[in-house]
Amino acid sequence: MRLQPISSAAYAREVLPLTAPLWAGRRTEREYVAQTTELARTAYGRRSYATMGLYDGKRLVASHKWYERTLQHESQTLRAVGFGAVFTPEDLRGRGYASLMLASVLDLARDRGFDVAYLFSDIRPQFYADLGFRMLPSRGLRLRADALPGERLQLSTLAPEQWRTIRKCHENVRRRAHASFERSPATWEWIATRLRQDSETPSGQPMNLAVKRRGEIVAYVFGVRAPERDAFIFDEFGWTDRASPTTVAALLRAAAGDLRRVMGWLPPPCARAVLPRGTVLRRNRAILMMAPLSGSGRRIIETLARPASGDFCWPTDHI
């Protein structure tokens, strides 16, 4: 048994055709492979992302994706590693290969000086809990669109040349958080690529909007209009100090249009306050889980596990 990196080409050839039925969504297998490969070739993909596998002899028996992020907690900077797309071929399941792989990669991450490991579990969170991961608050927010304030807004669809301003809006909000994932220019390129690929949602129409005042962007939202759910589903929003607290709420209402509801993950506490009260529900999918790899990592997990008015991160940070 050995744990080792899988090249992007080998991963596309050996793993992606098997995982396409699970994670390709509305994409064809060819699109799924092409988009996954494109992400691996971004600056973030080259520096901070890898595909890894557990081999029994020459046979690949389990695989996963490895994402490196920086986590800011008050004045501390911690190293975080995320695991995604944990997969075992169907004929090899039930033999403990995934458990062995994750236990080995946790040891590897600890040896490399990471403070915390994280993942988002869609099924069987107890499997990861048995390996030392802890479930953190993972909730959703549902609002009536007509409960949000109306305001005359100068709206525009986000364009590539606006990303620098969007980053400033995001940082304005992130600075208010006691803990958050940092975003380097490479991380933003990765996020922009994923949004352009439109691969994260199984249905709906992307609706990524900005509010301008005197020609400058003062607020933005990433999201999807989903008529079959009668809802606008937001992934993230941000604003500058030039935007009033009602601007973001009015932007979400405008994005919803004639749809009745606005939905999304419960925003981080630093952003939750700009929205009115709504229905908060526990998420049954994309449950955030973390495992400590250092003393600092253990302390931040204890902090994030406490009840709060919002979740730790945005859906945009989902892996």
Q: What does the mean pLDDT of the chain come to?
A: 94
Tell me the pLDDT tens digit for each residue of 10-45: 999 999 999 999 999 889 999 999 999 999 999 999
Helix residue ranges, H only, 120-275:
125-129, 163-174, 185-197, 245-256, 269-272
3-class secondary structure, 3: strand
Tell me the pLDDT tens digit for each residue of 44-85: 999 999 999 999 999 999 999 999 999 999 889 999 999 999
Write a three-state SS string for 88-121: CCHHHCCCCHHHHHHHHHHHHHHHCCCCEEEEEE
pTM of the model: 0.94
Q: Measured between alpha carbons, how far apart are the two ends of the chain, in Å?
A: 27
For residue 11, the model assigns a pLDDT of 97
For residue 69, the model assigns a pLDDT of 98
Q: Which residues contact 158 (CB under 8 A, 6 or more apart)?
A: 166, 208, 209, 210, 220, 222
pLDDT at 265 over 80: yes
Residue 220: how many other CB atoms lie within 10 Å: 24
In whole angstroms, give the CA distance from residue 294 to residue 93. Answer: 31
Tell me the pLDDT tens digit for each residue of 223-243: 999 999 999 999 999 999 888
Mean pLDDT of 103-132: 96
Question: What structural domains and CATH numbers belong to the chain?
Answer: 2-138+283-317 (3.40.630.30), 140-282 (3.40.630.30)
